[in-house]
Amino acid sequence: MQKENQDFIIAIISGTLFILLFGLISFLVVYSYVRHKRKLLQEKEAREIVYQKELLQAQLEMQEHTFRTIAQEIHDNVGQILGLVKLNVNLLVLSMKDNPIVENLREQTNKAAAELRHLGNSYHADRLAEQGLIDAVKQQLEQLQKTGMFTTTFCSEYDRLQISKNSLIFLYRMLQEALNNIVKHAKADKIDLSISQRFGEVCITLKDNGQGFNMADSSFKPGIGLLSMRERAAMINVQMELNSKPGVGTSIQFSFNQKEL
């Protein structure tokens, strides 16, 4: 009877150990499967991120190519035509001295030529790199000031930023887009842009006194321009911060480490 009890206890222990061992093996199999599946999903997400970045890079390169082509066309075709117009106007001025109408025509022609030259330079990547971000941005603000629709201010703690050509172009396009949004949507008449140093980083801050918007509103949806700025910023490791209040205005700040750009 005692032997039967011992056999019964051994059978229970063996069964329990078998169940535990089976459970452990099952757990390890499930855990390995889940881990493998998670790894596959992470790899898929990583490939998707790389693909999206490469796709965006290709789109931006195409955009820059388009800008370069436009700038070249402005210089080669429209610029030459306007140059001939200037020449003829100057000849007209010589033959009709002290004529206020002709003199005004010359001034307007010279102004149009200068504006066209600035426009071409602002879209030509090589000229942007040569000019530098600070001078290029100052020129953009000056063009807005000349319209008479905006009062602009600019201040910088830097004379020149030491960043790569691609990062410079990306930053400039982001600022162009931000200024374009102000012109189109903000209903502002004052624009302030500052470039400062904060905790070892460069901070570019653009502010307007426009109508602003409520970012917490469920109806707020960022437009293509804002999404494009965020995508460009992420590609070159620039932190972008957007703040806006209805009736107060909007500010956008780009911060980065020069050594990383």
Q: What is the pLDDT of residues 158-200, one digit of tens each?
A: 888 888 887 888 888 889 889 888 888 888 889 999 999 888 8
SS (H, E, C) 118-172: HHHHHHCHHHHHHHCHHHHHHHHHHHHHHCCCCEEEEEECCCCCCCCHHHHHHHH
Task: Report which of residues 60 and 216 the model is more confident about.
Answer: 216
Mean pLDDT, the chain, integer: 78
Q: In what order do the strands lie in the sheet with 201-208?
A: 151-156, 190-198, 201-208, 249-256, 239-245
Considering only CA atoms, give the Rg of the chain: 32
Q: What percentage of the chain has pLDDT greater than the value 70? A: 71
| Token pair of 121 as six digits | 């330079």
Amino acid at 238: V
The pLDDT of 56-63, averaged and rounded, is 66
DSSP 258: G
Check residue 162 and give its pLDDT.
85
pTM of the model: 0.59
Check residue 59 and give its pLDDT.
65
Dihedral of the CA atoms 211, 216, 219, 224 (nearest 10)? 70
Cβ neighbours of residue 209 closer than 8 Å, sequence gap 6 or more: 188, 189, 190, 248, 249
Cα–Cα distance measured from residue 202 to residue 59, given in angstroms and rounded to the nearest whole number = 27
